[in-house]
Amino acid sequence: MRFIILSLEFLVCFFNVGFAQSPSWRLWADGLPTGVYPRMVVAPNHDIFYSLLGAGTNLGLVFKANTQDALGQFTALPKIPRPSTIQNNIVALGYNKKSEAIVGIYRSDNTQPWLFKYNKLTDQWDTATSTVTPSLGGHCIATSENGTIYVGTRWAYIYKSTDDGNTYEVLYDSKSVKSAHPCYYPSALNNSDSNGAIFSIAIDRNGRIYAGTETAGVIYSDDEGRSWHPADIFACQTNDPNQKDTTSLYYPLSISGNVAAIGFTKDNALIWSGVNMWALNWKNKMGFADYKSQTVAEIKGLPDYLIQTGQQVSKLVTTTNGQIFFHSGSSTGASQIGIYTSFDGIHWTSFNNGITGQNDGTSQGSLAVDGNKVFMATRDGKVWIYEDSLVSNSDQFLLKNKSKIKLSPNPVKNLLQIEPDPSIQNDVLAFILYDAMGKKIISKQLNSLQKLELDVSEFASGLYYIKWVSRNQTFLNSCFIKN
């Protein structure tokens, strides 16, 4: 098939539409209290909460804005009633189904409160209660679609609330894992039934709860926390369940320690960060696991040994469209610090465009997501926004036909095969190819979209987007990885 290469300007005139500019972060809010380790989370009503793990006098502060506003207008909530033995300020930040903030702190006296819920009606913080209290405090929070709240703690267990965060029951996660999988125990704690700490907790699109531990890798539950299992689903030897199977495909998931971040691709493949990956000759502390395709791999695209900080910083978020973001926390080189993005969870590229100020080797940032809006807080009291607009979901054409253009192989080295479903062949009139930063590479006009080949052998390695232009001036988008 013969293609006519057109300029972007001609396409804009021909279709009477505008195309996306280079993706970039923009400043959304400023003037917030500054300090290390900012925290952010977005509630169901689009309220976004901001706090600091803190340093100096900025303790007990929580601020609220709404992601639907063009610019963030943060207002202060009452200060949390910090206990006298507080060690770290707001370590965990979450929400309940009423969009009320949930806050977890560290304190050295386990008779003092460690978890609080903001009460909208009284405009004050209520102290949560639990039958067993952790020795240090709350570290991470995840809320399911039905409103069940899960709190990971340091030097204790996972806690669960079904009453909007007023009371919590203990889920003896480590004991559950060990009873069903005798080989699987946190050896660093002398065969105890505690995995040390829960440093991350996240819920995938199917409702599976994943937790990242201090000493025992990644665990999960499919029954709302009643039972827990190793994410290394072949953890124990078949003939001797008391011995670990070091040949298991999912072995990297069981040896990870300090699992600081857990995230997912749009198709529910798992991404996690943790130590001990170097024992596998992986140069970073992040891994990818897809149970459907039975794939476990080191991620690609990050500078070697990038992630230097652990449980306090790392965060993975995914937009509705499936774009994944990761903030690296700290680094040996200021030029490497900041945000990385991916669509497939394996191939990553840096994405700091537009962010200025303290996004450097001493920066401790925080990511939050609301639909296709991503927010990044930097320690200088600023919040940045990026809207994932490369993949539009504003038209039924996209929603109906998004999966009807097949790209293979993907990742690709030389020739990319493009095969459309016959039902849309006559609807697509042109395409524009962008690199990951939004720079146009080529644009082509089509009489119709039939099976074709695209030679990408000379392209630089990385992520690329194809924007398909339809007859009714709507857009359909694809992406591929060039190896």
Report whether pLDDT(146) > 90.
Answer: yes
DSSP 3-state assignment of 430? Answer: strand
**What percentage of the chain exceeds 90 in pLDDT?**
46
Nearest to 52 by CA among 365, 273, 331: 365
Residues present in the chain in total: 483
Domain boundaries, the chain: 4-20+393-482, 26-387
CATH of region 4-20+393-482: 2.60.40.1930
User: What would the two tokens of residue 408 be?
Assistant: 């293979």
User: What would the two tokens of residue 15 be?
Assistant: 């279709």
Report which DSSP code applies to 21: -
Distance of alpha carbon 190 from alpha carbon 232, whole angstroms: 21
Which amino acid type is present at position 115? L
Per residue in 433-447, pLDDT (tens digit) is 888 777 788 877 776
pLDDT of residue 474: 54
- Lowest-pLDDT range, 181-195, 306-320, 338-352? 181-195
Residue 95 — φ and ψ, nearest 5°? -160, 165
Helical H segments across 167-226, by residue range: 173-180
DSSP 3-state assignment of 251? Answer: helix
Place of tokens 């507080």: 86
Report whether pLDDT(403) > 70.
Answer: no
Report whether pLDDT(53) > 60.
Answer: yes
pLDDT of residue 14: 29
- Which distant-in-sequence residues (6+ apart) come within 8 Å of 299 by Cβ? 271, 284, 286, 287, 288, 342, 345, 346, 347, 348
Helix (H) or strand (E) segment spanning residue 13 = helix 8-15
- Please, what is the average pLDDT of the chain? 82
Distance of alpha carbon 94 from alpha carbon 368, whole angstroms: 11
Nearest to 140 by CA among 90, 86, 181: 90
Distance of alpha carbon 238 from alpha carbon 45, whole angstroms: 48
Distance of alpha carbon 114 from alpha carbon 111, whole angstroms: 9
Cβ neighbours, 10 Å, residue 364: 20
Torsion of CA 250, 252, 254, 259, to 10 degrees: -130
In this structure, which CATH number among 2.60.40.1730, 2.40.37.10, 1.10.10.10, 2.130.10.10 belongs to the domain 26-387? 2.130.10.10
